Amino acid sequence: MTIDPDDPLLTALALGELDEAERARLEAELAADPGARAELEQLRELAAQLEDEFAAEPTPTLTADQRGAVLQAALAGEARGRASDRARSPWKMWAAAAGVGLLLYGGHSLSQQHLSGHDEVSAGPPELAAVHVTTTGGELSLPYPSDAGAPDDLAGVVLPATNDRALTGPAPAEPTHDVQWKELLTKAGEAAQDGRLDEAIAGYTRAVELGAPGEEGALYAFTLRGKAHLEQGNVDKAAEDYRRALELLPNRDSEKTRELTAGLIAARTRGPEALGRYRLVLEDYVRRSADAEGVPVNPFVQAAKQALSTFSIDVDTAAYAGMRRSLREQHAWPAPAAVRIEELINYFDYDYAPPAPGGHPFAAHVEVAGCPWNTDHRLVRIGLKGYEVQAAERPASNLVFLLDVSGSMSAETKLPLLKQALRMLVSQLTPRDRVAIVVYAGASGLVLDSTPGDRPEAILTAIERLNSGGSTNGGAGIELAYAVASRNYLEGGINRVILATDGDFNVGVTQHDALLELIERKAKSKVFLSVLGLGMRDAADRTMEQLADRGNGVYSYLDTVREAKKVLVDEISGTLFTIAKDVKLQLEFNPARVASYRLIGYENRVLAAKDFNDDTKDAGEIGAGHTVTALYEVVPVGAEQEGVDPLRYPQPVAPQGPQSGELLFLKLRYKQPEGDTSQLMELPVVDAGRSFDQASQDFRFAAAVAAYGMILRHSPHKGTATLAQVQAIAQENPGLDRHGYRAEFVELVALARKVAGQ
């Protein structure tokens, strides 16, 4: 079979946008087609060249509000496609190629649809009685199973379908310029998706005439209009739109822009199919720009000016699994915005001593040694260890699985993998535990009422009968899941909703902030939320992280059966049982010994100094047996500070007394899981002057993971760190590695080197 060199699937393969099955199929066909293979290599070389040139040049940015407005419009109605759909549909490709990265940093809302018609969820046996869901008059009516003995608070639950105004308040009387511009692009995008191309082009034209919010916004408008013209077959107008978009690229006089300009000229002469392939390359470049430009990086802070550093802990690990998926399935480094260094570090267990019985719920340990990527600096590692709980000692659990069974969940790495994961979890239940299952798709329903753990056959039957189909009604499902959890609340037990989804919320509670407020409000009722992500794109990743944060829970990403076992079997007590909440750390650096310092990672966990003593400020949780690690890079007084001129005036005089030798003073605050008042822990820290080679294996391994994260993020603070150095340090410091996770990390670093051509 001969492959058309203008087939957009070739470009999608070169850009790593195909799922595993489609990639394997296309590569098998390429084996017998030398011409198509040569075309593929040319595309990959161009993409790699653009990526290399882009990595070396800074780009300007929009404000967070402008970025949110741009992406709300650009993604409206387009974010529901699967990878294979994106390869074929130009309207869905933009959502994946041009918009995903920016969505992480904008206050986005999810597209709104209204429920209609009559949907049914069949649960099978009598105890899993079918739930008939009907929507009328803008409301979603969920009759309780007739034989389940529903109490008053759940019988005939009625939930609003898409009443955003009730959740967010009245809209402003006069929309701002950015809002008007966003609405134009939203309507144009909807028209484009429906095939009303003349209407779409007119909308994009009005958006251009109105004036986009910044050059970056105009870049998107021209690119979207060019896509519409291309869909019409108007090559000349499409090429003109792309030319105007090229004029708005950052560093437009650079080599990469000249390459794109030359590519446009060549594609225009070859016709619409070639121009369509060019469009994918252009949009991928814009996506990479968006991914890198908004990535926050904690800077070095001068201790003499700001001695206090305050942040919330984080025990999420989803970014690590997402990184692994990018390397193994997409054969590419993850987007910089998706690399959260603290989640990479905290994916691993560390051999910290647990707390003494009867004391605080966790112990704090600090180690100071040399910094491997800058030998003039010091590295401070803070390690927390929660007390262990055996399965027999774990409190009784009231669990409600909130499962996404929409059409987007049909891939093998989504609902089928989720069902395997749930079977593993069922095997860990005790007779004291109870499980209910709520599903959501076009409508939501209770398919399994709260069932004791000694009836695994009923739970497993409900799991086996789960099938995907329909759009996603996540908001209504969350309301129902919390109602079920509240009805079965266990005083002194574990009360938790476990949301499993690919993050494709299309209907229901559609406003982003309203969804977060709903979760936060429910967490105050002592019913917490954990999130399991499956097969998600980067845009949904940020939303899922925020949901878990507001719900006082953990966000994990399941990409393999092994990862499901890690989260739901090996670490089940920590996943379910919170031993301390609202855990905050505050470090006071001694300016007589510390010139400047930098927190590595935790960019979205940084708090104001005054928030440390404010018990109304939310922070992260620690589960039973969890370890939490944070690293600071410290520039000692007297060491050269990058980019800082020598000071004219003397440094502060060292304090007198016992604290004079201290490097820093560590304070921690936490609350009991159901408490409202925090407790304080304090620990002075002295630097004994140990070299990196004298540090513990755990210290050195954590430093290697941190360096790896900085390399993936293209951090300006990575110093002399290289992937070869990371691989060597990690390989030499395996620690106990009970489950082989550190050995796998070494393999992933080797794969990252291979992907980068090293």
Handedness of CA 31, 36, 39, 44 (dihedral sign): negative
Look up tokens 């060292």; give the residue: 654
- Separation of alpha carbons 266 and 695, rounded Å: 57
N- to C-terminal Cα separation, the chain: 34
* Residue 246 pLDDT class (50, 70, 90 cuts): confident
**71 and 201 assigned to the same domain:** yes
Q: Are 472 and 504 in contact (CB under 8 A)?
A: yes
**420 and 557 assigned to the same domain:** yes
Residue 51: inside a domain, yes or no? yes
Residues 6+ apart with CB under 8 A from 95: 74, 75, 78, 79, 81, 86
**540 and 427 assigned to the same domain:** yes
**516 and 560 assigned to the same domain:** yes
Which range among 253-267, 329-343, 568-582 shows the weakest confidence by mean pLDDT?
253-267
**448 and 512 assigned to the same domain:** yes
Residue 443: inside a domain, yes or no? yes
**442 and 532 assigned to the same domain:** yes
Is pLDDT of 209 > 60? yes
Q: What is the pLDDT of residue 377?
A: 98
Domain end, chosen from 262, 293, 324, is at 293
Residue type, 436: A
Residue 270 CA to its chain's centroid (Å): 40
Provide the strand spans (E) within 8-130: 118-121
Q: What is the pLDDT of residue 94?
A: 34
Look up tokens 């489950």; give the residue: 739
235, 314, 200, 252: which is closest to 623 by C-alpha? 314
Is pLDDT of 81 > 60? no
Q: What is the pLDDT of residues 398-418, one digit of tens each?
A: 999 999 888 878 888 899 999
* Residue 260 pLDDT class (50, 70, 90 cuts): confident
- Separation of alpha carbons 19 and 40, rounded Å: 17
In angstroms, the Cα distances linking 234 to 5, 187, 197, 542, 548 are 21, 21, 11, 37, 46
**204 and 252 assigned to the same domain:** yes
The mean pLDDT value for 483-503 works out to 92
Tally the domains of the chain. 3
CATH number reported for the structural domain that contains residue 397 in this entry: 3.40.50.410
Length of the chain: 758
Mean pLDDT of the chain: 77
* Residue 102 pLDDT class (50, 70, 90 cuts): very low
Q: Are 685 and 366 in contact (CB under 8 A)?
A: yes
**87 and 189 assigned to the same domain:** yes
Q: What is the pLDDT of residue 151?
A: 36
Q: Are 276 and 557 in contact (CB under 8 A)?
A: no
Q: 715-727 burial, b if ≥16 CB within 10 A, otherwise e?
A: bebbbebebebbb
Q: What is the pLDDT of residues 519-563, one digit of tens each?
A: 888 888 889 999 999 987 655 777 888 889 889 888 999 999 999
**380 and 400 assigned to the same domain:** no
Domain end, chosen from 542, 570, 598, is at 570
Q: What is the pLDDT of residue 740?
A: 95
Residue 649: inside a domain, yes or no? no
Q: What is the pLDDT of residue 422?
A: 94
Q: What is the pLDDT of residue 128?
A: 39
CATH number reported for the structural domain that contains residue 627 in this entry: 2.60.40.1230
* Residue 581 pLDDT class (50, 70, 90 cuts): very high
Residue 525: inside a domain, yes or no? yes
Is pLDDT of 351 > 90? yes
Helix (H, G, I), strand (E, B) or coil at 269: helix
Is pLDDT of 442 > 80? no
Token pair, residue 249, equals: 């690229």
184, 182, 135: which is closest to 163 by C-alpha? 135
Which range among 108-112, 118-122, 129-133, 544-548 shows the weakest confidence by mean pLDDT?
108-112
**600 and 678 assigned to the same domain:** yes
* Residue 366 pLDDT class (50, 70, 90 cuts): very high
Residue ranges making up the domain that contains 587: 301-388+578-641+657-692
* Residue 335 pLDDT class (50, 70, 90 cuts): confident
The mean pLDDT value for 6-16 works out to 65
The mean pLDDT value for 293-319 works out to 89
**365 and 447 assigned to the same domain:** no
Residue 465: inside a domain, yes or no? yes
Is pLDDT of 621 > 70? yes
Residue 19: inside a domain, yes or no? no
Residue 407: inside a domain, yes or no? yes
Domain end, chosen from 570, 601, 620, is at 570
**192 and 315 assigned to the same domain:** no
Reported pTM: 0.65
Residue type, 427: S
Is pLDDT of 718 > 50? yes
Q: What is the pLDDT of residue 169?
A: 37
Residues 6+ apart with CB under 8 A from 701: 348, 729, 730, 733, 734, 735, 742
* Residue 647 pLDDT class (50, 70, 90 cuts): low
Is pLDDT of 739 > 80? yes
Residue 684: inside a domain, yes or no? yes
- Separation of alpha carbons 568 and 650, rounded Å: 56
H or E stretch including 225? helix 215-232
The mean pLDDT value for 589-596 works out to 96
> Percent of the chain, pLDDT > 90?
41
